[in-house]
Structure 1
Amino acid sequence: MTATLNSTPTLPANDADPFGAEVLEDPLPLHAALREAGPVVHLTRYDVYAFARYEQVHAALVDWQGFQSAAGVGLSNFRYEEPWRPPSLLLEADPPRHDAPRRVLSRVLGPRALRRLREGWLADAEELVEQVLGGGEEFDAVSALAQAFPLRVFPDAVGIPQEGRENLLPYGDHAFNAFGPSNDLVAEGAPRVAELSAWVDAQCARDVLTDDGFGAQIWAASDRGDITPEQAPLVVRSLLTAGVDTTVHGLSAVLYAFATAAAAHPQQWDRLREQPSLARVAFDEAVRWESPVQTFFRTATCDVRVGEHVVPEGRKILMFLGAANRDPRRWADPDSFDLSRDPSGHVGFGMGIHQCVGQHVARLEAEALLTALARRVDRIELAGPTRRHHNNTLRAWESIPVRVRLGRR
């Protein structure tokens, strides 16, 4: 992509609502239509531009100079509109404002932290799986595992109190809904916004956090002058906003993938059981295949040529991460969940300087849970109809009933 001031030919257009119930239930037809229409499409309903092919999505993600995040990664344009909360110092900021908070959080969530957490999280996963399986061979994979495990281990790692943790999921759900238009999903969460925001903000205070968690390390960075005391609570808030829901839906995706592959491709689960080291590959493949974070916006900082067309300066671009992750121009047999695939390069965690800083923490959670399950379960399959949870940004699940066959201990 190169900057240009030339006029553009007529853009392909699409009047679909990417935030409508029909698309949120099944976005794949719209994704295919947008990819086939061209490298850039005008979404007339919201008067924004859309990238759905891998090449353009990847290029926009890594070009923070041309496609800024500081104007907001949602439909709202912070150049003209007041955000509903102080913008994220990581997700909704560009260099130089973005740099120091990113460095601090990258260090806090780095390899040393993962080594310290690993043994305890593996043990926690074993305990949770034993507890769930002890209740019978049929259960809901979303509530029993995908929600329960992150809510069990991640808040402890951050260092927030036990009381009120049930607020994390509805707060995150609203935060990701707010990246879209002010539709019924946003209205549904609006009555609790003030309450939930106040609770989350309170958890970010130094004196509320334990002295051995991620939160305390972020505050210690402010004591060293790496970030300011005003930035510290916003960096902690980033963990609480984006560190739970995304992992929950990533875990739901990988469990759904194995359960739906059971009838036609049981060897996928067999391979994981034989090679537990594939747990992280399985999680990344599920993130590619299901893309828990479906969309993010950017704003053009200048007129930018995309193929034969120009995206004008100041206009919003909706990047379809989920569509890019199933683009047949990039992936062979993209609609299949396949453990023999190398899923690296997927954009499910973003790309470039705004790539998800907590992705390795999510991978560790997935490794712990999948390893514990594979040790005890011979087969996992769907036990009833699944239900989606609609969110303007996330590809989410409400319910995935599963049936397991237990192996010998």
Structure 2
Amino acid sequence: MTETLHRAGTLPVNDADPFAPEHLETPEPLHAALRDAGPVVYLARYDVYALARYEQVHAALVNWQDFQSGAGVGLSNFRYEKPWRPPSLLLEADPPRHDAPRRVLAAILGPRALRRLRQTWFAEAEALVERVLGERELDGVPALAEAFPLRVFPDAVGLQREGRQNLLPYGNFAFNAFGPANSLVTDAAPHVPEWAAWVDAQCARDRLGPDGFGGRIWAAADRGELTHEQAPLVVRSLLTAGVDTTVHGLAAVLHAFATHPGQWQRVRDNPAAARVAFDEAVRWASPVQTFFRTATTDTLVGGTTIPEGRKILMFLAAANRDPRRWERPDTFDLGRDPSGHVGFGMGLHQCVGQHVARLEAEALLTALARRVRRLELTGEPVRQHNNTLRALRSLPLRLHPA
């Protein structure tokens, strides 16, 4: 940690690169250093202001008036730089532009939709667990964390089966693009036109089943709740953020249980704990690590003035392990109430699909708890680096049948 005098006064300055491989691999030491340094830290490498403590991260997330998303939730500032694709109407927009898409999608992904999906998803989870129990050892990422969302969520959206393999690399690139143009971005760039063309094509009305989430978005446009120009962008938001984040959340909770067998027994004893388990895993591992916002006016945060037009980098993962907010924050513990975590964001831009992700996790964990006595790591997990996401590429497991 390097501390110097900032030009606007005494302010901790950190010259580390949070997007460097060593910090993407093991982010916790940097997060702790940022939290300990103060409520606001200046990141010299990128000329941005970092917030890593829970109090300031939470406050910034809910303060959309002073910290806008419409200038981009990545390092790039849309006031001056053209985005690589049309901005998201959910993630990269503010009221009033954000209001109608959010309202439509919140209704489509609401409790009625989840009740309709519950029985089907629980049955799909049982069938998947039945299949994988035949394998002595497996990789929990492709076999479980990827396989389940890639089956049930695109079905719910109304996607055709062909081409679904494009969803994960497209989403992975979208989240990488929120960071700097490092090798994670440039190495994937040649493939982006192909992935993006496929995703964009799936957002058209004639490619979507009428009864799925996508068809209902188009129906909302027919009713005048959205424009027909907005409808495909709202579908695209579902396809961008609805798969990768859930995959990495499921991988995180499987990793947590493989390394905390006593907590797995708690779920086996009380399957209703599966929903709390997923939220605790999201707090503990923070599949979404960071987001940027842009100051709309000079804004005071923790005694520091963030100048108008400047970027802040909110470390959601650091906030989710802030000892000022959580007891034993580095411990995965189903005895705690994790409901205040910021892993799904907070406020107006809080993840609109979070309850869908929770239902997917509940279905898979409930099926596993019925049939699996213990999840055992059989090798070292392998990280997949991403500028925004905390991901696992591989999770070697042995499932011990009950």
TM-score interval, smaller chain: over 0.9
Q: Distance in 2 between matches of 1:308 and 1:370?
A: 44
Q: Distance in 2 between matches of 1:148 and 1:130?
A: 13
User: Given the alignment of the two structures, is residue 328 of structure 1 paired with residue 323 of structure 2, yes or no?
Assistant: yes
**What letter is aligned with 2:291?**
F
The answer for the alignment partner of 1:277 in structure 2 is 272
Deviation of 1:268 (Å): 0.8
**What letter is aligned with 1:150?**
P
Deviation of 1:195 (Å): 0.8
Deviation of 1:134 (Å): 1.3
State which drifts further: 315-324 or 298-307: 298-307
Structure 2 runs not aligned, ≥5 long: 1-6
User: Given the alignment of the two structures, is residue 191 of structure 1 paired with residue 186 of structure 2, yes or no?
Assistant: no
Q: Deviations over 1:327-350 (max 9, x none)?
A: 000000000000000000100000
Q: Deviations over 1:196-225 (max 9, x none)?
A: 111000000001101110000000000000
SS at 1:268 equivalent: helix
Q: Which residue of 380, 384, 392 corresponds with 2:375?
A: 380
Structure 1 runs not aligned, ≥5 long: 1-6
Q: Distance in 1 between matches of 2:347 and 2:315?
A: 16
The answer for the alignment partner of 2:85 in structure 1 is 85
Q: Distance in 2 between matches of 1:54 and 1:8?
A: 24
**What letter is aligned with 1:59?**
A
The answer for the alignment partner of 1:357 in structure 2 is 352
The answer for the alignment partner of 2:253 in structure 1 is 254
**Normalization by structure 1: what TM-score?**
0.96
**What letter is aligned with 1:32?**
A
**What letter is aligned with 1:316?**
K
Deviation of 1:308 (Å): 2.4
The answer for the alignment partner of 2:100 in structure 1 is 100
Q: Deviations over 1:243-267 (max 9, x none)?
A: 00000000000000000113xxxx2
Q: Distance in 2 between matches of 1:188 and 1:57?
A: 31
The answer for the alignment partner of 2:73 in structure 1 is 73
Q: Deviations over 1:268-305 (max 9, x none)?
A: 11110010000010000000000000000000111111
Deviation of 1:189 (Å): 1.0
Deviation of 1:381 (Å): 1.6
Determine if contact 2:377/2:398 at 8 Å carries over to the other structure: yes
Determine if contact 1:51/1:320 at 8 Å carries over to the other structure: yes
Q: Distance in 1 between matches of 2:360 and 2:399?
A: 21
Deviation of 1:135 (Å): 2.1
Q: Deviations over 1:293-326 (max 9, x none)?
A: 0000000111111222111110000000000000
Determine if contact 1:9/1:308 at 8 Å carries over to the other structure: no
**What letter is aligned with 1:398?**
R
Q: Which residue of 305, 308, 323 corresponds with 2:303?
A: 308
The answer for the alignment partner of 1:139 in structure 2 is 138
**What letter is aligned with 1:193?**
V
The answer for the alignment partner of 1:4 in structure 2 is none
Determine if contact 1:296/1:321 at 8 Å carries over to the other structure: yes
Q: CA RMSD in A?
A: 0.8
The answer for the alignment partner of 1:176 in structure 2 is 175
User: Given the alignment of the two structures, is residue 25 of structure 1 paired with residue 25 of structure 2, yes or no?
Assistant: yes
Determine if contact 2:19/2:387 at 8 Å carries over to the other structure: yes
**What letter is aligned with 2:39?**
P
* Superposition map of 1:41-52 within 5 A: 41-52=41-52
Determine if contact 2:56/2:302 at 8 Å carries over to the other structure: no
Q: Which residue of 266, 284, 291 corresponds with 1:289?
A: 284
Determine if contact 2:71/2:293 at 8 Å carries over to the other structure: yes
Count of aligned residue pairs for this structure pair: 396
Q: Which residue of 333, 338, 343 corresponds with 2:338?
A: 343
Deviation of 1:69 (Å): 0.2
User: Given the alignment of the two structures, is residue 119 of structure 1 paired with residue 119 of structure 2, yes or no?
Assistant: yes
Q: Distance in 1 between matches of 2:52 and 2:324?
A: 11
Q: Percent identity over the alignment?
A: 76
Determine if contact 1:8/1:308 at 8 Å carries over to the other structure: no
Q: Distance in 1 between matches of 2:90 and 2:254?
A: 29
SS at 1:297 equivalent: strand
* Superposition map of 1:199-278 within 5 A: 199-262=198-261, 267-278=262-273
